[in-house]
Amino acid sequence: LDRRGGLHRDGIRGRHGSARKGVNHGGGTKQPCQIKVGTNAGRVLDELFDSDSFKADIEMGDHHFRTFNPALYQEYLDVKEYYTQNKATSHLKWNFTNSVYAATTVNFGPRTQTLDHVDSANFAPGWCRVRAYGPYNPKKGGHLVFWDLGIAIEFPPGASIFFPSALLVHSNLAIGEDEERYSVTSYSAGGLFRWKYNGGIPNEELEERLRETGNWADERKARAGRFKLYVDRFFPKYK
């Protein structure tokens, strides 16, 4: 696939081919919208997403999310239900009925190696899910590196991980020339949450309304403390 077909190469996250599909809001969009997918890439993603084995994998990830962080999972579910049940946004097509995530990116490799980056458009206190596929030797390469934490984690084919990709700088190590590595990332844009929290209007319009009513100062104060509330609620402390 070439760029006209919708497969992106040499992006800020790596020099491998990738494509994404789902629902998005942010990066200049005026309202929640469908991610634009090229014809060829769309056909490939449709075939992949419609396969029973891939849908089973996505459903398994959904169960894992709900099990290990039920409060955060519920927040994602509330957002999804807001869009699917709201008349103004019910036309937007979510990739899977059995997943709370709004979008999915597939890194087609064949030797996927992401560069160090953060996914700043994702819901900041949220968790994305990354799933790795092979074959490759996880002892020698493909490690997931969290640069802020100073750690590298063995990440074998078939492994999954949930982490706040908008907050932690991450990448993965190269694999051998004769090996293959692919990955799938599930996530939701922070703009989708903001749109819901704002009652279905842009930040600018909400700010204008609150300034007119004299409530903007209270809203700014509430927003300043909101992130700590998110962290306390959504990052479980295991004993």
> Where is 113: in which H helix or E strand?
none
Between CA 54 and CA 38 the distance in angstroms is: 21
Q: Ranked by mean pLDDT, which of 3-7, 107-111, 185-189 comes out on top?
A: 185-189
Task: Supply the pLDDT for residue 11.
Answer: 55
pLDDT of residue 13: 62
Whether 221 maps to a domain, the answer reads no
Question: Looking at the domain assignment, is residue 236 inside a domain?
Answer: no
State both tokens at 180: 């293959």
CATH number at residue 121: 3.60.130.30
Q: How far apart are the C-alpha atoms of 109 and 17, rounded to whole Å?
A: 6
Residue 85 lies in a domain: yes
Does residue 235 lie within any of the structural domains? no
- Retrieve residue 195's tokens: 């749109």
Host domain of residue 39 = 3-201
Q: How does the average pLDDT of the chain come out, rounded? A: 91
Q: How far apart are CA 128 and CA 194, in angstroms?
A: 17
Task: Give the mean pLDDT of 157-161.
Answer: 98
The pLDDT of residue 7: 44
d(CA 95, CA 91): 13
* pLDDT of 235 strictly over 90: no
pLDDT category at 143 given cuts 50, 70, 90 is very high
Query: Is 218 within a domain?
Result: no
Tell me how many domains the chain contains. 1
Residue 192 in domain = yes
Length of the chain: 239
Establish if 219 belongs to a structural domain: no
Whole-number pLDDT of residue 239: 66
pTM attached to this predicted model: 0.90
226 belongs to a structural domain:
no
Q: How many CB atoms lie within 10 A of CB 228?
A: 10
With a pLDDT cut of 70, the percent of the chain lying above it is 93
Instruction: Encode pLDDT of 36-52 as tens digits.
Output: 999 999 999 999 999 99
Q: Could you report the per-residue pLDDT of 119-137, keeping only the tens digit for each?
A: 999 999 999 999 999 999 9
